[in-house]
């Protein structure tokens, strides 16, 4: 394929960034658009004005594919990733937060942040993207966003719509809590316990020292999350916080910070089963973690496969 053609990638999470890096390395012209203020998507870190930091999306990366392990090793050498000795075996985390993984992968790429793509239509041999209130042109389009959002963008009549609709996601409510004084144990639970699926002391991750409070990240289980997803953030935090205090045997007065986040599309529990959907005639390719599974590595694998497909055409 002609490498002078302009590629637009919608979504600068690990899928889009991986695809972009491979194309740029091959000399292609690539621009990424992401509606977020930062990049990295669900590899996310929330910072507070009081100096607290919480990974409120992906908690850690545990490579299966040697090539993904090698990527993480390279990021570790560059100081962007480190082992989490207190965490699950083999788990690696961004330094000083998971968002650093996306930032490191995005270095040197042309990423337009705060750019919401709201429309996509064919124009001659290429594409027109509606980005906020302006129009951008591209020859090829890569959608690297959750399947339901790709379906919304393409429309219900698009030939990918049935495949995209068959993908199923679990929702997740994540609550971020700061306790005073420092509580000793790194984990309350890593498995489902009542409504809570994951309770970890985020501050035990490397690079998180020196925070004024002990930081905990609590993820509700998918059923609880879906049943409560529409509640205001403050209410979600109020519902979950007492459960953590009870588990830790902590006094309510120790709770000094609470906030919640909701992920409607957290992790795919019914993936597509192949790394992407492609229409070579129109120059459209669609992928994401949801194509292969629930983890960031699945996004990386999808992004890599999309780039390989485009480079081989
Ligand atoms: C709570 C939670 C816990 C998790 N835990 C783990 C874990 O421990 N380990 C693990 O490996 N994985 C975990 N995951 C999954 C992991 O985060 C994802 O698999 C991975 O980050 C997905 O990457 P992606 O690039 O496919 O999608 P995303 O990260 O969602 O990136 C998509 C990007 O597209 C942008 N976007 C969407 N629509 C548009 C639009 N119309 N215009 C412009 N931009 C748009 C978004 O802003 C986003 O930045 C977790 C996820 C969540 C939510």
Q: Print the domain residue range for 255.
A: 169-269
- Compute the distance from residue 88 Cα to the ligand 1 centre, in Å: 21
Residue 208 lies in a domain: yes
Atom 1 of ligand 1, nearest CA residue: 57
Residue 159 included in any domain: yes
Q: Is the pLDDT of residue 4 over 90?
A: no
Band the pLDDT of 192: cuts 50, 70, 90.
low
Stretch 25-44: mean pLDDT: 97
**Collapsed DSSP state (helix, strand, coil) of residue 155:** coil
Say if 119 falls within a structural domain: yes
**CATH code, domain carrying 24:** 3.50.50.60
Contacts of 313 (CB under 8 A, 6+ apart): 1, 280
Which band of pLDDT confidence, cut at 50, 70 and 90, is reported for residue 48? very high
Report pLDDT for 181: 76
Name which residue sits closest to atom 8 of ligand 1, judged by CA.
59
Span 59-70, mean pLDDT? 98
Please give the tally of structural domains in the chain.
2
Same domain, 100 and 241: no
Strands 29-34 and 111-113: parallel
Q: What's the whole-number mean pLDDT along residues 171-182?
A: 92
The answer to whether residue 106 is domain-embedded is yes
The reply to whether 28 and 93 lie within a common domain is yes
Conformation bin of residue 218: beta by default, left when phi > 0, alpha when psi is -120 to 50: beta
Same domain, residue pair 64 and 140: yes
pTM (predicted TM-score): 0.97
116: in domain: yes
Query: Hey, is 151 helix, strand or coil?
Result: helix
Task: Look at 291 and 244; give whichever has higher pLDDT.
Answer: 291
Question: What token pair was written down for 96?
Answer: 């000083």
* Mean per-residue pLDDT over the chain, rounded: 95
Average pLDDT over every residue of 78-89: 94
Q: Determine which residue's CA is closest to atom 7 belonging to ligand 1.
A: 58
Is residue 117 over pLDDT 90? Answer: yes
Which H or E run includes 188?
A: strand 187-189
Ligand 1 centroid vs 41 CA: distance in angstroms?
A: 5
Average of pLDDT values for 19-34?
97
Residue 298 and residue 238 share a domain: no
Verify that 40 and 133 share a domain, yes or no.
Answer: yes
Give backbone dihedrals phi and psi of 83, rounded to 5 degrees, phi first: -70, 155
Structure tokens at 57: 């999306």
- pLDDT at residue 156 tops 90: yes
25 & 127 share domain: yes
Whose CA is closest to 265, among 57, 20, 39? Answer: 57
Ligand 1, residue 34: give the atom nearest the CA.
Answer: 44
Residues 235, 63: Cα–Cα separation, whole Å:
36
249 — pLDDT class (breaks 50, 70, 90)? confident
> How high is the pLDDT of residue 295?
98
Q: Residue 19: which pLDDT band, with cuts at 50, 70 and 90?
A: very high
With respect to residue 265, please indicate whether it lies within any of the assigned structural domains: yes
CA-closest residue to ligand 1 atom 29: 41
Residue 183: pLDDT band with limits 50, 70, 90 = low
pLDDT classification of 182: cutoffs 50, 70, 90:
low
Q: How far is the CA of 182 from the centre of ligand 1 (A)?
A: 31
User: Do 132 and 245 sit in the same domain of this protein?
Assistant: no
What pLDDT, in 10s, does the model give residues 211-242?
Answer: 999 999 999 999 999 999 999 999 999 999 99
CA distance 163 to 157: 12
């Amino acid at each position: 394929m002609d490498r002078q053609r302009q590629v637009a990638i919608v979504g600068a999470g690990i899928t889009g960034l991986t695809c972009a890096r491979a194309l740029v390395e091959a000399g292609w012209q690539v621009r990424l658009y992401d509606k977020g203020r930062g990049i990295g998507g669900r590899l996310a870190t929330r910072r507070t004005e009081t100096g607290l930091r919480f990974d409120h999306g992906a908690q850690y990366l545990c490579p299966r594919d040697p090539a993904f392990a090698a990527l993480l090793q390279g990021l570790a050498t560059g100081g962007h990733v480190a082992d989490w000795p207190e965490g699950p075996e083999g788990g690696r985390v961004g330094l000083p937060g998971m968002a650093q993984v996306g930032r490191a992968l995005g270095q040197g790429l042309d990423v337009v942040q705060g750019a919401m793509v709201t429309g996509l239509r064919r124009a001659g041999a290429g594409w027109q993207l509606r980005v906020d209130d302006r129009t951008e042109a591209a020859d090829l389009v890569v959608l690297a966003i959750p399947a339901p959002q790709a379906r919304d963008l393409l429309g219900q009549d698009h030939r990918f719509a049935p495949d995209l609709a068959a993908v199923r996601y679990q929702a997740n409510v994540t609550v971020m809590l700061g306790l005073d004084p420092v509580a000793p144990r790194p984990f309350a639970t890593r498995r489902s316990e009542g409504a809570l699926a994951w309770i970890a002391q985020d501050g035990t991750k490397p690079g998180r020292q020196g925070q004024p409070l002990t930081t905990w990240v609590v993820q509700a289980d998918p059923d609880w999350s879906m049943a409560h997803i529409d509640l205001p953030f403050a209410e979600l935090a109020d519902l979950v916080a007492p459960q953590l205090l009870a588990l830790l045997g902590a006094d309510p007065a120790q709770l000094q910070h609470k906030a919640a986040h909701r992920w409607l599309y957290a992790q795919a529990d019914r993936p597509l089963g192949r790394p992407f959907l492609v229409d070579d005639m129109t120059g459209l390719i669609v992928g994401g973690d949801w194509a292969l599974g629930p983890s960031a590595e699945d996004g990386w694998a999808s992004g890599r496969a999309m780039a390989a497909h485009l480079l081989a055409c």
